[in-house]
Amino acid sequence: MKLIHFFRPAQLGRAFGAAALLVSATAFAHAHLVSSEPAANAEVAAPAEVTLHFTEPLEPAFSKATLADANGKPAAPGASQVDKRDARIMHLPLPKLGAGHYAVHWTAVATDGHRTQGDFAFIVK
Ligand SMILES: [Cu+2]
pLDDT tens per residue across span 7-25: 455 554 555 544 444 445 5
Q: Cα 114 vs. chain centroid, distance in angstroms? A: 12
Compute, in angstroms, the gap from residue 64 CA to the centroid of ligand 1: 17
Compute, in angstroms, the gap from residue 5 CA to the centroid of ligand 1: 7
Compute, in angstroms, the gap from residue 56 CA to the centroid of ligand 1: 9
CATH architecture of the domain formed by 2-124: Sandwich (2.60)
pLDDT of residue 118: 98
pLDDT of residue 29: 79
Compute, in angstroms, the gap from residue 88 CA to the centroid of ligand 1: 14
Compute, in angstroms, the gap from residue 26 CA to the centroid of ligand 1: 5
Which residues are near ligand 1, the ion (C-beta closer than 5 Å)? 29-30, 112, 114
Write out the chain's pLDDT in tens, 125 residues. Answer: 445 555 455 554 555 544 444 445 555 679 999 999 999 999 999 999 999 999 999 999 999 999 999 999 999 999 999 999 999 999 999 999 999 999 999 999 999 999 999 999 999 99
Which burial class, exposed, middle or buried, applies to 82 when counting CB atoms under 10 A from its CB (0-12, 13-18, 19+)?
buried
Domain regions of the chain by residue span: 2-124
SS3 58: strand
Compute, in angstroms, the gap from residue 46 CA to the centroid of ligand 1: 34
CA distances from 29 to 19, 95, 114 (A): 16, 33, 8
